[in-house]
Structure 1
Amino acid sequence: MDQQTQATKFEVEKIRRDFPILNRKVNGYPLVYFDNAATSQTPRQVIDTIVDYYSNYNANIHRGVHALSQEATDKYEQARQKVQKHFNAVKSYEIIFTSGTTHGINLVASGFAAELQKGDEILVSAMEHHSNIVPWQMLAQKTGAILKVIPMDEKGELIFSEFEKLVSSKTKLIFVNHVSNALGTVNPVKEIISLAHENGAAVLVDGAQAAPHIKADVQDLDADFYVASAHKMCGPTGVGMLYGKEKWLNKLPPYQGGGEMIATVTFEKTTYADLPHKFEAGTPNICGGIAFGAAIDYMEKIGFDTIAAYEHELLEYATIKLKEIDGMKIYGEAAEKTAVISFNIEGLHPYDIGTLLDKMGIAVRTGHHCAQPVMDFFKIPGTVRASFAFYNTFEEIDRFVEGVKKAKMMLQ
């Protein structure tokens, strides 16, 4: 199937009309937005939901008997149910609204401080985002647990045979991203979880990069915890979700103290509320939660299988075109990957390439992508990362490739 046929079948131009920002110009050029792994853009349907909330039923939730509070509460809890259904959690109260993926990870890390003892082992993969490294380092320092690393290979894939050697009865927790933000690698999380459970360990999956591309089924994966952010899947910033199996959420202590997360309070003793409120202290990002639900509705209507197929076409096309450039080195060539290309050109600094692309209206990410251990593995300071979404086009890839060629010519 040629690129034009695929683009027409997908109706990408119709979809692009939902995203107002794609109409703007940067430095006099039509915007080409290839920084979707950092944050996706927001469709009008989600923007309208945000405007509707603040225009028509802005009120605090769970606490008021008046009409606005009840309406806001209903919309917020309906959004929780949409997240539950999307990720296939058993119960809606297994979905905890957070400020994002990092918040969810820290919530779990804080809770496990009481579960670990000196000499226990926790495993983390070599391709994690800093947000899925630093909290576990802090947890290890606090508890005396030992942090071990699941190694990766030159293709950007985890070495499963080495993981099998690392996991043991001493292993209590394992943390792995579903998809690498730096390389696009899709990790074998179901197999990792299965082996972990055979050895009595719990697993947290960082789904921040997977959620825009893969409809994760937490029951099928048998994940103990799964975290994601709304802003990477067409929603607003400042809101995300933590899925946790009911048994774990009941076992872990609250992450924060405050209003909403209590059942009773006296100066002598406090008892905590039931799930999910136990982990949702204070006034939440009400509008953000509701808009998160609207974003899921939007992407579900397009269809995640449809999105994945189209993005794979974009990835294959861009990879072929970029490899035609002399000196091109792509990092992360796993057999299973999402629409991310991380690359360098021999002799050129990624920052310089990214800066020149921006002058041409092309937005990419440069640097270590908060995955410095990955860059250290490849012995590089960073990469240029182009990350695609379902509203991107083959014509934009052509502009991007020509931009890379032009930047190379200017810098050499």
Structure 2
Amino acid sequence: MIEPAIIETSFDVYAIRQQFPVLNREVKGKPLVYFDNAATTQKPQVVIDALVNYYTGYNANIHRGIHTLAEEATAAFEATRDAIKEFVNAESREQIIFTKGTTEGINLVAQTWGRQNIQAGDEIIISNMEHHSNIVPWYILCQEKGAVLKVIPISDEGELDMEAFEKLLSPKTKLVSVVHVSNALGTINPVKTIIEKAHQVGALALVDGAQSTVHLDIDVQALGCDFFVFSSHKLYGPTGMGALYGKKDILEAMPVYQGGGEMIKEVYFDNIIYNDLPYKYEAGTPNIADAIAFKSALDFTKGIGKENIRQHENELLAYATAQLEAIPGLRIIGQAKQKISVISFVIDNVHPQDIGILLDNRGIAVRTGNHCAQPLMDRLCIRGTTRASFAMYNTKEEVDVLIAGLQKAIKLLA
């Protein structure tokens, strides 16, 4: 098996940029400025190499074969599970379930634990800043079971109303499912406190870590959450890959999610014996290549250092915020005291989509719209925002390009 090399480096943003091939391209004759990292991050060469190495060196199905390629593929696949266990500080590797991403992780919990435990009249609490993937599964479950979906309100600054949250809690509360970091606002939510309050009334707590895992240190044991879900592609890894962490006793008590190979021990026409954790929830041939490459992304991030990355991103956030606030008619949406490197904004009398198109003409990639958070936009009484989100490879010079592009776009649209 060919092992991709990890290039170790101190935090030199220009050296780091050279490890991301796509950043060398042009868009419409301009150097690419990629500020859509909250949607998906770009991939370093080591991740691309890991994918190529699997397909060219040891492509085989896992767990079932005794030949060399199958054993190599299985070892590499399971090494990623160990890496994720360490990354989130889970108690055991059996608690790490491979999924297609955050969305499937939430749906898995809703369709297994939820269907087993939620009854008519029970209550599920989410927040007003959730991504649709942490709204729709619970809505469907509540509709099916006759349960009640309650929503934690937010302030105009984009922070959860914790007093209101405590009032929503009751003996009927069975689950609190909240986003760790808002994809639309960048708000960092006090999830440890939320988890503790949920447990006080006997409810379980799920944390949507899609945006937090790339920016914050994650320790599921310290948080005390019952479930934690996240995606590879927001962590410099491949798309179509993610993980669900769950407390072991809860996972063992949950019914199976999908039926097929791997999630079984023995199959008879009149009886089926299901597999142990974590394979109980991993039916069929998994996304082997992307799971293997995900480890390379985790190793890459670890090698650079999350604290180094976080410091750099916070500097970009402060630098961009100051310049954006100086633009007449521009208003930043989401002014939470605790934020990650996401800035959403609106401009007087200008549709966000028009801004996005004009910036794209200058090679600048930003996200526009409601960011799969329509209820949040409704709460803030806006149609949507333009969102710039920063990653380890972005620079202050790129922020300057964004500001110049916005100023020109505003003049054209005035």
Whether these two folds match at TM > 0.5 is yes
* 1:3 match: none
Would the aligned equivalents of 2:88 and 2:218 in 1 still touch at CA under 8 Å? yes
| Partner AA of 1:376 in structure 2 | D
Deviating beyond 3 angstroms after TM superposition, the runs of 4 or more aligned structure 1 residues are none
Matched, 1:159 2:161: yes
| Partner AA of 1:84 in structure 2 | K
* 1:43 match: 44
* 2:393 match: 391
1:343 Cα deviation after fit: 0.3
What whole-Å deviation, never above 9, does each CA across 1:290-316 have from its counterpart, x for those lacking one?
111110000001111111111000000
What whole-Å deviation, never above 9, does each CA across 1:221-262 have from its counterpart, x for those lacking one?
001000000000000000000001101111111110111000
* 1:66 match: 67
* 1:333 match: 335
After superposition, residues 54-203 of structure 1 pair within 5 angstroms as 54-111=55-112, 112-203=114-205
CA-atom RMSD, angstroms? 0.9
After superposition, residues 227-242 of structure 1 pair within 5 angstroms as 227-242=229-244
Segment of structure 1 superposing worse, 353-362 or 251-260: 251-260
* 1:27 match: 28
Name the SS of the counterpart of 1:305 in structure 2: helix
After superposition, residues 235-384 of structure 1 pair within 5 angstroms as 235-384=237-386
Cα distance in structure 2, aligned partners of 1:340 and 1:266: 52
Cα distance in structure 2, aligned partners of 1:356 and 1:58: 43
Name the SS of the counterpart of 1:333 in structure 2: coil
Cα distance in structure 2, aligned partners of 1:9 and 1:281: 41
Cα distance in structure 2, aligned partners of 1:379 and 1:247: 43
1:359 Cα deviation after fit: 0.1
Would the aligned equivalents of 2:10 and 2:304 in 1 still touch at CA under 8 Å? no
Name the SS of the counterpart of 1:236 in structure 2: coil
| Partner AA of 1:122 in structure 2 | I
TM-score by length of 1: 0.97
Cα distance in structure 2, aligned partners of 1:309 and 1:376: 33
List alignment gaps of at least 5 residues for structure 1.
1-7
* 1:211 match: 213
What whole-Å deviation, never above 9, does each CA across 1:329-353 have from its counterpart, x for those lacking one?
1111100010000001111000000
Name the SS of the counterpart of 1:357 in structure 2: helix
Cα distance in structure 1, aligned partners of 2:61 and 2:53: 15
Cα distance in structure 2, aligned partners of 1:159 and 1:379: 18
Matched, 1:402 2:404: yes
1:19 Cα deviation after fit: 0.2
* 2:3 match: none
Would the aligned equivalents of 2:257 and 2:281 in 1 still touch at CA under 8 Å? yes
Name the SS of the counterpart of 2:239 in structure 1: coil
Percent identity between matched residues is 58
Cα distance in structure 2, aligned partners of 1:28 and 1:116: 55
* 2:228 match: 226
1:202 Cα deviation after fit: 0.4
Cα distance in structure 2, aligned partners of 1:215 and 1:72: 29
Name the SS of the counterpart of 2:300 in structure 1: helix
* 1:14 match: 15
1:386 Cα deviation after fit: 0.3
Cα distance in structure 2, aligned partners of 1:10 and 1:242: 30
Name the SS of the counterpart of 2:71 in structure 1: helix
Count of aligned residue pairs for this structure pair: 405
Cα distance in structure 2, aligned partners of 1:92 and 1:357: 44
What whole-Å deviation, never above 9, does each CA across 1:137-169 have from its counterpart, x for those lacking one?
001011111110011010000000000111111
Cα distance in structure 2, aligned partners of 1:289 and 1:254: 21
Name the SS of the counterpart of 1:227 in structure 2: strand
Name the SS of the counterpart of 2:151 in structure 1: strand
List alignment gaps of at least 5 residues for structure 2.
1-8
1:10 Cα deviation after fit: 3.4
Cα distance in structure 1, aligned partners of 2:86 and 2:247: 15
Cα distance in structure 2, aligned partners of 1:95 and 1:124: 24
Would the aligned equivalents of 2:11 and 2:304 in 1 still touch at CA under 8 Å? no
1:131 Cα deviation after fit: 0.4
What whole-Å deviation, never above 9, does each CA across 1:12-35 have from its counterpart, x for those lacking one?
000000000000000000000000
1:68 Cα deviation after fit: 0.4
| Partner AA of 1:218 in structure 2 | V
| Partner AA of 1:211 in structure 2 | T
Name the SS of the counterpart of 1:10 in structure 2: coil
1:9 Cα deviation after fit: 8.0
| Partner AA of 1:244 in structure 2 | G
